[in-house]
């Protein structure tokens, strides 16, 4: 199956967990991420998936065409870089969430509103803006 982010991020996929898993996992494998398998835990927006990559717990959450959130137990530049290529946009921000998970968010609108929400909020530690603010 030839698939990419257009079939599950830039369009709303059919709300069937198996189809979402198949599309996302094939996209990850096609883009050099081996030893990862994601399971769909919520097939309707916001769509959620959980899995493991080697020893790292990984979770995805996304609202099709709007945002994508990656959570892992530690920063992985390889995983972030591959997701950047898959989503075809730069990540907007990163932080440690209340569970101590390293979180990276991609926003198709640049993430200015989300940055305003988390900036200075003690729930989000080490918040960093990864793209320039849009004018």
Question: Taking all residues of the chain, what is their mean pLDDT, rounded to a whole number?
Answer: 94
Give the H or E element holding residue 50.
strand 47-53
Residue-wise pLDDT tens digits, 117-130: 999 899 999 999 99
Euclidean distance between CA atoms 69 and 89, whole angstroms: 13
Answer whether residue 17 shows pLDDT above 70: yes
Residue-wise pLDDT tens digits, 79-95: 999 999 999 999 999 99
Count Cα neighbours of 49 within 13 Å in the Cβ-side half-sphere: 29
Closest C-alpha to 133, from 119, 47, 19, 9: 119
- Cis status of the peptide bond prior to 135, with omega within 30 of 0: no
How much of the chain exceeds pLDDT 70, in percent? Answer: 96
């Amino acid at each position: 199956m030839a698939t990419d982010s257009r079939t599950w991020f830039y369009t709303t996929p059919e709300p069937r967990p198996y189809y979402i898993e198949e599309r996302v996992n094939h996209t990850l494998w096609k883009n050099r991420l081996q030893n990862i398998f994601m399971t769909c835990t919520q097939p309707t927006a916001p769509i959620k998936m959980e899995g493991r990559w080697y020893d790292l717990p990984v979770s995805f959450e996304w609202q099709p065409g709007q945002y994508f959130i990656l959570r892992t137990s530690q920063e992985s530049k390889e995983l972030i870089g591959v997701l950047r290529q898959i989503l075809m946009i730069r990540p907007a921000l990163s932080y440690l969430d209340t569970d101590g998970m390293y979180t990276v968010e991609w926003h198709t609108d640049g993430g200015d509103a989300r940055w305003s929400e988390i900036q200075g909020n003690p729930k989000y530690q080490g918040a960093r803006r990864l793209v320039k603010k849009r004018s």
